[in-house]
Structure 1
Amino acid sequence: MAPQQSRFRWLRLWTDYTDGFDYGNQTPQQRRRKILYTLKRSGFGWQMVFVAGFGFLTDTYDIFSINTILPMISIVYWENKLPARYRLGLNLATLLGSMLGQVSLGYLADRRGRRKVYGLELTFTIMASLGMAISSPGVFNSMSLIGLLIWWRVLMGIGVGSDYPLSAVLTAEYAPAEYRDTMLAAVFFFQPFGQLVAVLMAFAATAGFKSRIANVTSCSINATDIRAVECANTVDKAWRLVVGLGAVPAIIAIYFRFTIPESVYYSLDVKGDTIQAMKDRRFFESTKESGDSFEMESIAPDDESEVENGSVVDGQPGHIPQAQIQTPAPAINPDPQQGWFGAFFAYLGRDWNWVDLFATSVNWMLLDFTFYLLGVNSSSFVPILFGENTGPERPVYSLLIDEERHIMESSSVGALLGSLAAIAIMLLRSSRPFLKNFNSPRKVQMWGFVSLAPLFVIVGALYVTLPRTRAHVAIVFFYQLCNLFFNLGPNTTTFIIPAQLFPTQFRCTCYGISAAMGKLGSVLGQIVVTKVQVGNGLGGTMIGFLLVMLAGAALSKFITPETCDSKGNSLELDDLGERQARQAALQQREKEYREEAQQANEDGAARRRR
């Protein structure tokens, strides 16, 4: 059996065959300590990043592929004159579905468990992708194509939205504090990557059919010319191919999601099942730092330990510092008369905890109010940035290929670079003095908002003066910078911060509420952009985004919770659940740092005297 297990081990991503520890001989407190110690030493969880990231790639591909397929659909069915209300309806369908998925699946993940619902969101996404790809207007328009597309986009939005709280919270609960922000940033990197893949797939589909549409200027199913009808048939295949391919990464990731073990934090804090948590923690521990090689004798029972300088000492060389051992927390079983919702609202009302949810929600709403202008709605105005002629005399191939290239040049490159920079900052912040002002997600978010404020003013002013100045290169450059600083700053950090806050039993729900408020902001943004996208209205709106960015910066500085200490080291999840515990943990960390600095100064002075 051993060779067979080794041969197919790559299919069992979560399986670790090392065991041999007798769980029954330990107290619940000892089990919790071992579990959290193992988690702390587990290293960078590439498995979790891969599984969460691939699903996130699918989500982003499905959301942003609308930019590449709408021009195709418009050409085939509406002679390149898609009504604005249809465009708005398709965009809003995804966003409203996302809001529903974020709140409902976030709640279910807290009530039923992370494992029981993880993977369900990808089934929605797969069904929606395939359903959208085979949507048809019927014979002689017996069915409403736009109605079918909107329905499938709603279902797709539910799947996409559900993935936010599940992937983010599971990644945070699987990650050691040292790598938590980096792992979350790495998962979020799949958003701009998925955006790029969507454009590349559309580019490849268009290029693959070049011979059939290269010299055709009229392309519609309602045309009488045979070449125009053949062109419409070809472009129709292209957009359906692009949409259908969105199911591929989801199919790859869904097996690993359905087989993922339960979050140990959920098993410990909600179910109170330390035995199951002991079994599950083996699935994510690294081979190099295997928890099974750790001897439990190095943790003394409570009555045999004494606290010295913040450490638990058992008299043996292998004692574990207090920073690596969390105080056991009992499972949360709400009063039956109070119920889950009663406990939830009691938590929000205690010690101003509601402020954390308010901050993460409003930050996300302010971000998405502006971000989705640059993302989901970009196909409607990107050609203007490049000064392209979109008239009917242009060949269909040239029209499509240029629009896809412009979306990639104006959005995807900057977003990718911004996400890579965010990962680098999260990884290096505690070891690089020059990153002192960026050594926590909150600070990165604040400076990201600050940087975006003048950029929007510049882009808006250039857009207003574009007919006179023809400064297309300049506006595209600054538009790219906007995308870069979005992903370097608040677009990444609004994904990271709420995944670490809130108690375990409410974490997915609060994350879902925060993300849903973001989508509410994007809905409002879509409506505003649709109303003003005539003449100089859009440019003036971009200039007005200055106020939105400054509001986000102020909220980030004064209200948004801090998840790291002054040296850029993340707090443990147990300390981040409630404001009072978080503030106490931060004060304790700073006290220890001051004592270390004082001791170092005294030692240095003693050496100089000698």
Structure 2
Amino acid sequence: MALKVLSALDTARTQLYHFKAIIIAGMGLFTDSYDLFCIPPIMILVGRVYYENENLSDEEKYRVPPAVVSTMVAIALLGTAIGQLVFGRLGDLVGRRRVYGLSLTIMVLSSIGCGFSFCTRKSSCVLGSLGLFRFALGLGIGGDYPLSATIMSEFANKKTRGAFIAAVFSMQGFGILTASTVTMVVCTIFDRASNISPEDLTPRDADIAWRIILMLGAVPAAFTFYWRMSMPETARYTALVEQNVVQAARDMEKVLEISMNEFVEENPPLPTPPPYPLFSKHFFRRHGRDLMACSWSWFLLDIVFYSSNLFQSQIYEQFLPRKKRVNAYIDAFDVAKLQAIIAICSTIPGYWFTVYFIDIIGRVRIQAMGFFCMALVYLAIGIPYEKHWSNDANAGFMILYGLTFFFANFGPNTTTFIVPAELFPARFRSTCHGISGAAGKLGAIIGSVGFLWASHEKKEQGYPRAIGMTPSLIILSGVCLVGLVVTLLFTRETMGRSLEENENDDL
């Protein structure tokens, strides 16, 4: 399809609007990571308020049961998977811009709703309503995944498209850091303002603190609402799906700061949509391999990535041993501080290594390297875990653990978000990205629930925790190796090519 407006997009110089689009599109990913990483310290506050059990040891006395924690995580992930499927399809049927504002609205309102979880006296009632709002939050976040990736890919030029989409995804790193920072600030303010005595381990206003932390996650997303509503529809959707080339040229004149006369054709060739419907035999013959590769890669990655996030609970116990009992604010503060250190030292650098190298090395090489290095690191942690790490965590352990996040983000965690936005035709692009992402969230549910079961089952039977951890980590290494095989055998490289060149490959 030799439309001038699409050629202008592919060759356009980097402009201010591209950076503005990164911020706008990245707020959904920011909210996603904020919501995920504020949960560990919040569960500490919730446990202190609602789960005190005098019959248990000091270590277990205030702990929210692992089954409850995994349920809270799984509910949000289920909502995210459904949101990716529904909003991904709507993005192709209705348009990217029209659906974009709806997903943001759901995110903002449900984030606020999490803080207003009602029935404050019974833990089951509070966490039930919190789970409902987190499910709604997951719907909004899930809708943002395919729309953000698709919009950024359709606005970017072909030389720096990977870096722009990776920059959108890197907003997750800043969401993690912000969640940790907000938690530390809120806990410090409440700790100092409450004048808590050393004996008062569960101050009354702790129930307010965790609600404020959750609601503050809605603020950055809300600030981008006007920008989202003022964004034009992407030229590729307007020209290739709606078949309105003139309107696409008008919209791009506002975005690219180029005169419309430079890329308007007097008699433009009429874009013809693919003559085959979604999920037809022709679709699977041409795009089935790509959809399978994207879905399986994301599925395998999220099993590992979300398991690794939940593994932090083990890290906290080893790196934050309690010589004496402390109040809820200090406990939550220390957990958030450790999260912030990991984010600054490994998570955020991993994202930005991808931003820099993605259009130099390529998607497939980065994804394969990430899977391979993660597999090695998990083996290095898992095989000697029982003898070396389980009783005496040290700096070497933290370095290895941080490397799992670095190579996840300088690897498949970022590339699985990028590649589905580049491989499929415009009329299927958002849908296929949503399907790939939903497969990933299915893996995340399996990883989060399965990992918690594996690491706690043996402990509840009286065995040391390491007996459950060692096989779990080795299994995660094996999953990474399967992801490496899928990447090398089935994933196509998209670097340096226009979206139309990628979608026209007849495989």
- Same-fold call, TM cutoff 0.5: yes
**In the superposition, relative to structure 1, how do residues 215 and 418 fare at CA in structure 2: closer, same or farther (>3 Å)?**
farther
**In the superposition, relative to structure 1, how do residues 467 and 281 fare at CA in structure 2: closer, same or farther (>3 Å)?**
closer
Offset at residue 250 of structure 1 (A): 1.0
Offset at residue 135 of structure 1 (A): 1.1
> 1:294 maps to which residue?
262
> 2:370 maps to which residue?
448
What amino acid does structure 1 have at the position aligned with 2:36? I
> What does the per-residue CA deviation read over 1:560-605, in whole Å, with 9 as the maximum and x for residues that have no partner?
11113xxxxx11100111442xx7xxxxxxxxxxxxxxxxxxxxxx
Greater relative contact order, per chain length (Cα 8 Å cut-off, separation 6+): 2
Offset at residue 50 of structure 1 (A): 1.6
1:253 correspondence with 2:194? no
Q: 1:364 aligns with which of 298, 322, 337?
A: 298
> What does the per-residue CA deviation read over 1:282-305, in whole Å, with 9 as the maximum and x for residues that have no partner?
1220x4xx2447387xx9999xxx
Q: 1:381 aligns with which of 311, 314, 323?
A: 314
Q: 2:148 aligns with which of 121, 142, 167?
A: 167
> 2:272 maps to which residue?
331
Q: 2:339 aligns with which of 381, 391, 407?
A: 407
**In the superposition, relative to structure 1, how do residues 333 and 483 fare at CA in structure 2: closer, same or farther (>3 Å)?**
closer
**In the superposition, relative to structure 1, how do residues 94 and 575 fare at CA in structure 2: closer, same or farther (>3 Å)?**
same
Equivalent residues of 1:214, 1:397 under 8 A apart: no
Q: Partners in 2 of 1:469 and 1:142 — Cα distance?
A: 33
What amino acid does structure 1 have at the position aligned with 2:315? V
**In the superposition, relative to structure 1, how do residues 208 and 539 fare at CA in structure 2: closer, same or farther (>3 Å)?**
farther
Offset at residue 419 of structure 1 (A): 0.8
Offset at residue 37 of structure 1 (A): 2.1
**In the superposition, relative to structure 1, how do residues 350 and 293 fare at CA in structure 2: closer, same or farther (>3 Å)?**
same
What amino acid does structure 2 have at the position aligned with 1:373? S
Equivalent residues of 2:382, 2:471 under 8 A apart: yes
Offset at residue 466 of structure 1 (A): 4.6
What amino acid does structure 2 have at the position aligned with 1:193? F
Q: Partners in 1 of 2:312 and 2:374 — Cα distance?
A: 21
> 2:56 maps to which residue?
none
Q: Partners in 2 of 1:185 and 1:39 — Cα distance?
A: 17
Q: 2:206 aligns with which of 235, 253, 261?
A: 235
**In the superposition, relative to structure 1, how do residues 137 and 270 fare at CA in structure 2: closer, same or farther (>3 Å)?**
same
Equivalent residues of 1:457, 1:544 under 8 A apart: no
Equivalent residues of 2:9, 2:155 under 8 A apart: no
**In the superposition, relative to structure 1, how do residues 210 and 252 fare at CA in structure 2: closer, same or farther (>3 Å)?**
same
Q: Partners in 2 of 1:70 and 1:578 — Cα distance?
A: 49
Q: Partners in 2 of 1:367 and 1:174 — Cα distance?
A: 27
> 2:34 maps to which residue?
61
1:72 correspondence with 2:54? no
> 1:100 maps to which residue?
82
Q: Partners in 2 of 1:244 and 1:468 — Cα distance?
A: 36
**Counterparts of 1:529-608 in structure 2 under 5 Å?**
529-534=451-456, 535-536=465-466, 537-564=468-495, 570-580=496-506
What amino acid does structure 2 have at the position aligned with 1:71? I
1:483 correspondence with 2:483? no
Q: Partners in 2 of 1:467 and 1:358 — Cα distance?
A: 38
> What does the per-residue CA deviation read over 1:314-365, in whole Å, with 9 as the maximum and x for residues that have no partner?
xxxxxxxxxxxxxx57232768xxxxxx4442443334x2010000000001
Q: Partners in 1 of 2:249 and 2:266 — Cα distance?
A: 18
Equivalent residues of 1:269, 1:504 under 8 A apart: yes
What amino acid does structure 1 have at the position aligned with 2:272? A
> 1:608 maps to which residue?
none
Q: Partners in 1 of 2:487 and 2:494 — Cα distance?
A: 12
Unaligned runs of 5+ in 2: 53-61, 457-464
> 1:182 maps to which residue?
163
> 1:505 maps to which residue?
427
Offset at residue 56 of structure 1 (A): 2.2
Q: Secondary structure at the match of 2:280?
A: helix
TM (norm. structure 1) is 0.75
Q: Partners in 1 of 2:107 and 2:267 — Cα distance?
A: 49
Q: Secondary structure at the match of 1:533?
A: helix
Q: How many residues align?
A: 486
Offset at residue 441 of structure 1 (A): 0.8
Equivalent residues of 1:110, 1:509 under 8 A apart: yes
The structure whose Rg is larger is 1
What amino acid does structure 2 have at the position aligned with 1:520? L
The worse-fitting range, judged by mean Cα deviation, of 200-209 and 456-465 is: 456-465
Offset at residue 110 of structure 1 (A): 0.5
Equivalent residues of 1:456, 1:542 under 8 A apart: yes
Unaligned runs of 5+ in 1: 1-28, 220-227, 303-327, 336-341, 430-438, 565-569, 584-610
Equivalent residues of 2:40, 2:335 under 8 A apart: no
> 2:289 maps to which residue?
355
> What does the per-residue CA deviation read over 1:204-253, in whole Å, with 9 as the maximum and x for residues that have no partner?
1111122226544554xxxxxxxx4xx1x221121111101011011111
Equivalent residues of 2:9, 2:156 under 8 A apart: no
What amino acid does structure 2 have at the position aligned with 1:163? D
Q: Partners in 1 of 2:68 and 2:270 — Cα distance?
A: 52
Offset at residue 462 of structure 1 (A): 4.8
The worse-fitting range, judged by mean Cα deviation, of 56-65 and 234-243 is: 56-65
1:43 correspondence with 2:25? no
Q: Partners in 1 of 2:34 and 2:337 — Cα distance?
A: 16
> 1:135 maps to which residue?
117
Q: 2:185 aligns with which of 181, 199, 204?
A: 204
Q: Partners in 1 of 2:195 and 2:383 — Cα distance?
A: 37
> What does the per-residue CA deviation read over 1:358-407, in whole Å, with 9 as the maximum and x for residues that have no partner?
000000011000101223x2452221341523x88233333222211122
Equivalent residues of 2:44, 2:328 under 8 A apart: no
Calculate the aligned-residue CA RMSD, in Å: 2.4
Q: Partners in 1 of 2:328 and 2:243 — Cα distance?
A: 62
Q: Secondary structure at the match of 2:233?
A: coil
What amino acid does structure 2 have at the position aligned with 1:576? N
> 2:247 maps to which residue?
276
> 1:306 maps to which residue?
none
What amino acid does structure 1 have at the position aligned with 2:26? G
Offset at residue 467 of structure 1 (A): 6.3
Q: Partners in 2 of 1:560 and 1:547 — Cα distance?
A: 19
Give me the identity figure in percent: 30
TM (norm. structure 2) is 0.90
Q: Partners in 2 of 1:423 and 1:142 — Cα distance?
A: 43
Q: Partners in 1 of 2:267 and 2:247 — Cα distance?
A: 21
Equivalent residues of 2:378, 2:476 under 8 A apart: yes
Equivalent residues of 2:44, 2:63 under 8 A apart: no
Equivalent residues of 1:334, 1:343 under 8 A apart: no
Q: Secondary structure at the match of 1:177?
A: coil
Equivalent residues of 1:446, 1:556 under 8 A apart: yes
